[in-house]
Structure 1
């Protein structure tokens, strides 16, 4: 299982859509691999170089995961018939408060939501093709 996750992780990093709202960088990757349609958090990254103590890194990861779970509903309406994998990367050099992380993730999801709205409004139904 670990090997499969590593392959998916590398593919997301290489081909994903990046969105930065300081202090969180998110990587979205649209996929067709799984039958269940959803939004999945593949991983959270905090650099060991920035935070030497694992206690601090783990706290930041918990904050990222909690914020993702709370705000996942923002995108749920707009990912109809699609699968998305997400990686959240913490970029700052200070220990965050939940409010900072949460605001950042909300604005990232709102950006993505507006892009998804535009894509769904430009669907094949709205093209006027005269044959």
Structure 2
């Protein structure tokens, strides 16, 4: 998806039912494989920035500010398509993910699963988080 005009972004934003905190959950999915990468929160400003720049931007609840995916790690998400669900209360961002999506260095954030009655880690980090964030 190339960036879109601010007035078109505003039309899509008007369709979204943000919660009492002005947020909406957004699922990021790799566009070509269908792999679910992560879930993060968006507000109206992050949706507008995502649509107008073509680079996915979320709202960080812990930092209380916009979070441009990859701004410190380089692991950016380029927007392919942004979809609103039937109730208007969840977004689906089809993205092209550079590198890993998870801050733990894994390709996606869903690496805990129940196996033989135990919660098990089913994916190892692909990248050391210290190299991603300089910690």
More helix as a share of residues: 1
More strand as a share of residues: 2
Give the shorter-chain TM-score range.
under 0.3
> What TM-score does the superposition give when structure 2 sets the normalisation length?
0.25
Look at both structures and tell me which one has the larger radius of gyration over its CA atoms: 1
> What TM-score does the superposition give when structure 1 sets the normalisation length?
0.26
